[in-house]
Structure 1
Amino acid sequence: MSPVAVDVGEIVRLRTERPEAVAEAAAHRKRRPLVGDTGRLMIVAADHPARGALGVGGDRLAMANRADLLERLCLALSRPGVDGVLATADILDDLLLLGALDGKVVMGSMNRGGLQGSVFEMDDRFTGHRAEDIERLNFDAGKLLLRIDYDDPGSLATLETTARAIDDMAARQLPLFVEPFISRRTPEGKVKNDLSAEAVTRSIAIASGLGGTSAYTWLKLPVTDNPDDMAEVMETSTLPAVLLGGEVGGDQDGAYEKWRGALQLPTVRGLVVGRSLLYPADGDVTAAVDTAVGLL
């Protein structure tokens, strides 16, 4: 499937015999500006596994096979118009060893401690990249998840650590993509994100005001339940924003149409999409990625 054949044995050999190869590859990686001449961003996301979120559609372990995931990522990154990748350290280290990140935007995922389905899911600890790691590895940006449940005290801890992460990244002049949601638990205990216009508006207002400066803050936002509400919702902030993909089920075309409309709004600068492009319902990663790029 991928133009880059992933040799797991070679990756393991390097990790075993020359672990310093990761740092060497990061130091020698060819970099680029965050936003190119088009002013748009197309990022492929693959930071889900570290939160224990491996499922796609009806397959609960779809993202569990690392060689398969890396091949899908290499294929996506090879397509024209794809600017870069968002992932945790283990995946980015693999991609560095594969030489797949030259000339790409590399975004480190910072908080993955709110494991999917756990009782502490809202207390989303920063278990991934730190600001100093992103700087040391010559990566280009960071991303964090901020879910706010008014009934869960764990959300307050996440709010505070998010603000400090924004400060730490801004001190290094590194962009940070904040993905906010108003969330709640269902009677069955499952965390559900509220995508109503009011909830998304509140999440934008809260996230935009965190930290000592917003100069390096971007927003990573969902399309509202009613896509027609997005124009008014996006008037909540002047921070640049990208749209996230989320679960699209079998309605890939419907997802494209929602993104197409929202991408016309002045603060929306691109897409950060993962599972719906890497694991499309019809299995055609190339077509899914190329269609998404075409929306920009």
Structure 2
Amino acid sequence: MHLTDERWHALLHRRAADPAAVQRAYADRRRRTSLLSPRGTLFLVAADHPARGALGVGADRTAMADRRMLLERLLIALDNPAVDGVLGSPDIVEELLLLDALHDKVVIGSMNRGGLAGADWEIDDRFTGYDAESLVKFRLDGGKMLLRLVDSDPGTIPTLHACARAVSDLAIHGLTAMVEPLPYHRDSSGALVMRKDSASLQRAITIASGLGITSAHTWLKIPAPEDISVLDATTLPVVVLGGAPSGDVHADLTSWGSALRHDVTRGLVVGRSLLYPRNGDVAGAVAAAARVVREAR
């Protein structure tokens, strides 16, 4: 499935001439009956980075700014039957719906994108995307929220509170809340740096696990830890976060595979590493990741 000139111009025409087509596409989407695949796994492609202004891949600071190219790469990824679905902001989800790419796929809507990459207020990550009510209305399968924890930044407090409310609101409707807790600190220059030590990651996991009025519908989205015992901190379902590509696809896949073998881990959520591999072979990168998920589980 590729984004031909004909399909691209048809998408642009519908955007301009028929905005109601978006609502019809939400309503007409064929939903699958289970979040998990028949093998009990979940493999999603993430595409919510642009809504937070995070457009860079490697040295290219605007790699994800070309929307036609991004959609083309997403279509290639979603064409692989091992890819269960997508995690995206409303604009990208709607474009994929208009391209008929999300039938029988899991769709997780991205909720908080207000902590713009590099902004002074980045940690105060306001909910500017989907909310629980819209996820129910549009018949999506859950909502994802980013929770960066910085003890020295008061912006953590409103984000923590908003995420707790979102977890509760989603649970009331029986929708999955996919929480991505990431511990950070600021270095001497003031730049945000993620803490990758076991203690910080375990602390983040336990904080996220306790959010909201119930954890019954909470999943965690966690970076693949070097120390797999980090994942002993929860009984909640975990999907491994692929994160920023290292440039070495084999090394990335190896690190994800180790985390995928832990008992609580159910699958993988990857964006830029698969959509923008160094060699340009999106289909090959997706197929390699699918093999890792299959073999680990």
Instruction: Kindly state the Cα deviation for residue 250 of structure 1 after the two structures are TM-superposed.
Output: 1.4
Q: What percent of counterpart residues are identical? A: 49
Answer whether contact 2:57 2:245 (CA < 8 A) is retained: no
Report the CA distance between 1:190 and its aligned residue: 1.9
Letter in structure 2 aligned against 1:291: A
Structure 2 gaps of 5+ residues are none
Instruction: Find the aligned partners of 2:119 and 2:202 in 1 and give their Cα distance.
Output: 27
* TM, length-normalised to structure 2: 0.96
1:237 corresponds in structure 2 to 234
Write out per-residue CA displacement over residues 170-213 of structure 1, whole angstroms, 9 at most, x where no aligned residue. Answer: 01100010000111122222211111111110000100001000
Q: State the secondary structure of the residue aligned to 1:242.
A: strand
The residue that corresponds to 1:287 in the other structure is: 284
State the match for 1:23 in structure 2.
23
What SS class does the counterpart of residue 136 from structure 2 fall into? helix
Amino acid at match of 1:168: D
Query: Structure 1 residue 12: deviation in Å?
Result: 2.2
State the alpha-carbon separation in 2 of the partners of residues 86 and 5 from structure 1: 23
Verify: 1:253 aligned to 2:254, yes or no: no
Whichever residue aligns with residue 252 of structure 2, its letter is A
Offset at residue 17 of structure 1 (A): 1.6
The answer on 1:43 being equivalent to 2:44 is yes
- Output one character per residue of 1:119-177: Cα deviation in whole Å (capped at 9) or x when no partner: 10000000010011111111111100000100000101100000000001001100010
Retained in 1: the 8 A contact 2:3–2:71?
no
Deviations 1:228-266 (A, max 9, x none): x11x21110100000001112211111111111111110
Q: CA deviation at 1:3?
A: 2.9
Matches within 5 A, 1:1-296: 3-5=2-4, 7-32=7-32, 33-224=34-225, 227=226, 229-230=227-228, 232-296=229-293
Deviation by residue 1:91-138 (Cα, 9 ceiling, x = unmatched) = 011001000000100010000000000010000000010011111111
Residue type matched to 1:103 in 2? Answer: D
* TM-score in terms of structure 1 length: 0.96
Deviation at 1:4, TM superposition (A): 4.0
8 A Cα contact 2:112 2:145, kept in partner: yes
AA at the equivalent of 2:266: R
Task: Report the 3-state secondary structure (helix = DSSP H, G, I; strand = E; otherwise coil) of the residue aligned with 2:86.
Answer: strand
Return the offset for 1:16: 1.8
- Is the Cα–Cα contact under 8 Å of residues 274 and 286 in structure 2 kept in the other structure? yes
Give the counterpart letter for 1:271 in structure 2.
L
SS, match of residue 192 in structure 1: strand
| Structure 1 segments (4+ residues) deviating >3 Å | none
Contact 1:114 1:124 survives alignment (8 Å): yes
Aligned AA for 1:262? A
Q: Secondary structure at the match of 1:146?
A: strand
Provide structure 1 residue ranges, at least 5 long, that are not aligned to the other structure.
none
Letter in 2 for 1:293: A
Rounded Cα–Cα distance in structure 2 between residues aligned with 1:98 and 1:268: 31
